């Protein structure tokens, strides 16, 4: 996975340095930005594919504008990366139709349907179908615009700078700063105690990215495409009550950069817009460089747990894990199945479906553990948890099972710290 991710990252860098219309300083700042440097390059996730496909689409429009089929195929692939990628695909497709319509009218006076659009339609439809968002819609308050916009354009918490200065000033004696999942909006709210639901503040927070986009882009069609995407993200976030994390907010940043790319390809920018764009890139690059301190902290303890199980001859035992989203990392490093309590099923990765119980209460987790051990041929097991056993759980389990604490792996940057236990059936 790491090797594949490096290849994808190099491809994105190549697109930026070889085919983007940005100036040299911008080409250097962009790969250092928090999202492209940390969230999408250092961490192996599928989000790097959004950057690769999205930037490839705008690069193709700039250097091969006569292409009709390949751009639509790229949009179809983009729609199958992530739900926000599907929204971005719709926005890019809308502007592409308008742009191709202009070219066609200029040439022959009519507007034929591009032959590749059928591929994009079917691919996007498949993407939405496989997302599985058929659950009932819960319309919440319009409250998720500000965190999305602030996290996308200023991915750095103000406290990060103070932590970095303190760590350097004390020559490493101070705690290692944690630079991950920035949410400057939450810090601002905590400091100012402002009412985020105030209509004026909410309106300003919602329209600020659109105003910023226009100030930097100054081109109607790319700005229109970004507006479609941004509004789509807000609708998705609020309809499904999904504020997202920084990795999701970064897709807004990618769409913004792609819009600037498309605008620069059409015409040179003014000095003021160049200054604003570089200022945003500089802020994001500072956030990206600060994440280098994360090399001093384990991002996840999953590999250490897997190695410990192998070294102590326990990797072949019956493994029970909870919560599945965190302990599946251990299953991946071991290359074998683990029994997840959330779905009460074996697996190596997490399957998202509506019937699954996402968060287990301590009593429910204890009951599921007892059911997992309710087999005549199963006398003991290794239990891996991302939060330790609680008293209310052990009181329900101990009449039937004995619990022996083995090892803890804590201090991870993420929620992938682990507690390992051995459970055995008591003799009747």
Q: What is the DSSP string of 206-239?
A: HHHHHHHHHHHH--HHHHHHHHHHHHHHHHHHHH
Whole-angstrom distance between the N-terminal and C-terminal Cα of the chain?
Answer: 47
Residues 55 and 26 in one domain: yes
Retrieve residue 345's tokens: 């099923």
**Are residues 320 and 179 both part of a single domain?**
no
Distance CA 337, CA 333 (A): 11
Residue that terminates a domain, selected from 296, 314, 338: 296
Confidence grade of residue 136 (pLDDT, cut at 50, 70, 90): very low
Helical spans, DSSP H, in 170-315: 184-192, 199-217, 220-239, 246-266, 271-290, 302-311
In this structure, are 286 and 340 located in the same domain?
A: no
> How much is the pLDDT for 52?
97
List of residues 6+ apart from 227 with CB closer than 8 A: 210, 213
Considering 57-61, 170-174, 186-190, the range whose residues carry the highest mean pLDDT is 57-61
pLDDT at 7: 95
What is the tens place of the pLDDT at every residue in 277-288? 999 999 999 989
Looking at the fold, whether 329 and 290 belong to one and the same domain comes out as no
| Mean pLDDT for all residues in the chain | 84
**Number of independent structural domains in the chain:** 2
Q: Which long-range contacts (CB under 8 A, 24 or more apart) does 337-340 make?
A: 338/384, 339/372, 339/381
Are 318 and 272 in a shared domain? no
Task: Print the domain residue range for 67.
Answer: 2-296
Binning pLDDT at 50, 70 and 90, where does residue 134 land?
very low
Q: Are 381 and 257 found together in one domain?
A: no
Q: What is the pLDDT of residue 111?
A: 47
| Predicted confidence (pLDDT) per residue in 246-275, tens digit | 899 999 999 999 999 999 988 776 666 889
Looking at 296, 312, 340, the residue that finishes a domain is: 296
Domain harbouring 409, CATH code: 3.40.50
Q: Is the pTM of this model over 0.95?
A: no
């Amino acid at each position: 996975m790491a090797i594949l991710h490096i290849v994808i990252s190099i491809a994105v860098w190549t697109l930026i340095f070889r085919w983007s219309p940005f100036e040299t300083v911008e080409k250097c700042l962009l790969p250092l930005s928090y999202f492209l440097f940390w969230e999408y390059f250092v961490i192996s996730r599928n989000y790097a594919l959004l950057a690769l496909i999205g930037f490839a689409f705008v690069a193709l429009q700039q250097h091969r504008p006569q292409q009709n089929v390949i751009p639509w195929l790229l949009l179809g692939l983009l729609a199958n990366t992530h739900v926000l990628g599907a929204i971005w695909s719709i926005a890019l497709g809308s502007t592409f139709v308008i742009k191709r319509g202009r070219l066609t009218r200029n040439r022959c006076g009519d507007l034929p349907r591009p032959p590749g659009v059928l591929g994009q339609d079917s691919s996007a439809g498949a993407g939405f179908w496989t997302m599985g968002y058929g659950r009932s819609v819960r319309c919440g308050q319009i409250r998720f615009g500000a965190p999305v916009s602030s996290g996308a354009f200023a991915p750095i918490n103000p406290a990060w700078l103070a932590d970095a200065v303190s760590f350097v000033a004390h020559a490493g004696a101070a705690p290692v700063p944690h630079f991950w999942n920035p949410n400057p909006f939450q810090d601002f709210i905590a400091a100012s105690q402002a009412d985020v639901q105030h209509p004026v503040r909410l309106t300003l927070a919602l329209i600020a990215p659109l105003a910023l986009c226009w100030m930097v882009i100054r081109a109607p069609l790319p700005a229109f495409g970004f507006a479609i995407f941004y509004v789509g993200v807000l609708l998705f976030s609020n309809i499904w009550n999904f504020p997202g994390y920084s990795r999701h907010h970064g897709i807004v940043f990618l769409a913004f950069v792609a819009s600037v790319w498309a605008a620069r390809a059409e015409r040179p920018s003014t000095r003021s817009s160049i200054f604003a764009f570089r200022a945003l890139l500089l802020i994001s690059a500072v956030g990206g460089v600060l994440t280098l301190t994360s090399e001093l902290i384990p991002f996840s303890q999953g590999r250490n747990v897997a190695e410990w199980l192998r070294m102590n001859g326990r990797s072949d035992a019956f493994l029970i894990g909870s919560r599945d989203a965190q302990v599946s990392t251990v299953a991946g490093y071991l290359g074998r199945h683990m029994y997840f309590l959330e779905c009460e099923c074996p697996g190596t990765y997490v399957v998202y479906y509506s019937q699954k119980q996402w968060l287990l209460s301590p009593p429910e987790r204890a009951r599921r553990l007892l059911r997992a051990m309710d087999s005549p041929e199963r006398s003991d097991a290794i239990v891996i948890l991302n939060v330790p056993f609680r008293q209310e759980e052990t009181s329900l389990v101990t009449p039937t099972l004995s619990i022996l604490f083995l090892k803890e792996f804590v201090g991870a940057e993420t929620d992938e710290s682990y507690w390992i236990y051995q459970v055995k059936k008591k003799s009747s």
